[in-house]
Amino acid sequence: MIEPDLRDRILAEPEVILEDQDVMRALIAANERAMGTNIVDLRGIAMERLETRLDRLEDTHRSVIAAAYENLAGTNQVHRAILQMLDPLSFEDFLKSLGNEVAQTLRVDCLRLVLESVQSAEDPALRRLGDVLFVAEPGFVAEYVAGGRNVSLRPVTLRQTIPTSGQIYGDRADWIRSEALLRLDFGKGRLPGLLVMGAEDPHQFKPTQGTDLLAFFAGIFERTMRRWLS
């Protein structure tokens, strides 16, 4: 017999049992045992299938909500980085901001700006701009993004990689395991550039990830750079 207090509580709040999946499963199992083994409960089978479908829908719902929150967080992150990028009043401060505040906001371990130029990278004026800027000879950007393969170049390339040299990353090349490559177009008559984001985490940048936010960031970056190059 059920204890009187428990019986009164169930009668007063029957929805408590209906909302408890474990209790309902136990009641259904008890009902099946009472019917015997020679009876097939089609209603119970249908309920199990509906329950399985509901679990899948709930998992999908949670995944969609998690993805939405992640996208919102990524959007806010990029917007903060853009505002930090627009603050500096000199090109030298702009490069320092890229290597510090902007890189930290984007949560990348290394950020480099590659500019193609016929000017020598050993020019003292370029050295004073710090290690964020890497000056390369014409054709370097396309060659680096393609990685020696005959492929069409996209505006944003995400890949897992182990740098074979410290040409771009310097002494950080030993622990870079993934990178985002943002190709930059500075306008007619100007050589292209490349914004390189390197990460120690091999899963931070993968080819299967979306690139819309990074493409938007690259577009703002191009327009900002045109101001400095004019």
Could you report the average pLDDT of every consecutive run of 10 residues in the chain (230 residues)? 78 79 76 64 69 80 76 86 90 89 92 83 57 88 85 88 85 91 90 93 90 92 86
CB 143 within 8 A of CB 116: no
Sheet holding 193-199, edge to edge: 133-136, 110-116, 193-199, 178-184, 156-160
pLDDT of residue 48: 72
- What CATH class is the domain 63-229? alpha beta
- What is the pTM for the complete model shown? 0.69
Structural domain spans, the chain: 4-56, 63-229
Residue 197 pairs in a beta bridge with 111, 180
